[in-house]
Amino acid sequence: MIIKNIDQVPLQDVNMEGAKDVKVRVLFGPADNAPTFAMRVFELAPGGHTPFHTHPFEHEAMLLDGDIAVVTEEGDRQLKQGDVILMPPDEKHQFKNLSATEGARFMCLVPIAYQK
């Protein structure tokens, strides 16, 4: 068994095109021999966002804290505490911190093959 505390996992820059002020902690990934899926936490600085992009795999995500909207081609959906999200493969999406002053965090899981 591996137990980690989120705050102890290194925070890495996300340098993808279209990302702004995003960092990630890879909680469980290939380095932990996670067999099927990877668990990550993304941190968005005030006004920060992930790219508005698409990819051939799904996300399963959960709001941890802060004021986040999920943007899709159907519009924006603001998240509330206790919300979980299934973003299917090939659906364009973005996670956006709506606050100009506070950070925000969400957990996001992906199939292990897509976690570097």
User: Residues interacting with a copy of itself, by CB under 8 A?
Assistant: 1-7, 27-28, 32-37, 39, 57-58, 60, 62, 70, 72, 74, 77, 79-80, 82-89, 91, 93, 107, 109, 111
Distance CA 24, CA 35 (A): 20
Say which residue the tokens 């505490």 belong to.
Answer: 81
Minimum distance from CB of 7 to a copy of itself (Å)? 6
Q: Which residue, 7 or 17, has its beta carbon nearer to a copy of itself?
A: 7
- Cβ neighbours for 83, distance < 8 A, ≥ 6 positions apart: 62, 63
Minimum distance from CB of 28 to a copy of itself (Å)? 5
Q: Look at residue 81 and give its three-state secondary structure.
A: coil
